[in-house]
Amino acid sequence: MSFDLERIRSCLLSEPSAGDFVQEEGGEDLPLTPAAVLFPIVLRGAAGQTVLLTQRTAHLRDHAGQISFPGGRVEDTDVSPVDTALRETEEEIGLARERIEVLGFLPEYRTGTGFRVTPVVGLVRPPFALELDPFEVAEAFEVPLDFLLDPANHQEHALHYRGAMRHFFAMPYGDYFIWGATAGMIRSLTARLGLHPA
């Protein structure tokens, strides 16, 4: 099954917006570091679309070992969140910006660890070859878009963190446990598509 890309495009923001944001539990009073990620939807033809994800290496200071979208902190030389997301994607996994068509933006995502992330949704057109930065990225893999957008695959979890019980969504896929900000941004898209209540 292939998800309607025009439906996705029509539900996205045309410009980044800090006024419309999603706040994770536990991060309400933290100073926020600006960041951006690419939400890369890969066009796989008859096989349908997939989402390209990375697994961070275990030694990183922030979100070590987690499944994530390619992206990172805004640098002084970045002129926009798109510039940040595409630069970081090229640095982390070697995916050239020429292979990416930006569709739009999801609301800013404010993490419980002090980041305010602009999710940039883009189409990736094969063929492409990846070259992973071994310091930051342990693995890159693809998950069917239909799987991630199906609320039946969204599990609710809770954990004790910083003295309080925090609730979050996860989308286990094979050996991969997709959770945290990555799952939260996927939920942000499914909410905008009207697949579940916001």
Q: Which domains does the chain have, with CATH numbers?
A: 5-147 (3.90.79.10)
Mean per-residue pLDDT, 2-12? 87
Per-residue pLDDT tens for 145-174? 999 999 999 998 776 555 666 777 899 999
pLDDT of 55 reads 93
- pTM score of the predicted model: 0.92
**Residue 1, pLDDT above cutoff 50:** no
Per-residue pLDDT tens for 100-150? 999 999 999 998 888 999 999 999 999 999 999 999 899 999 999 999 999
Full 3-state SS string of 95-160: CCHHHEEEEEECCEEECCCCEEEEEEEEEECCCCCCCCCCCCEEEEEEEEHHHHHCHHHCEEEEEE
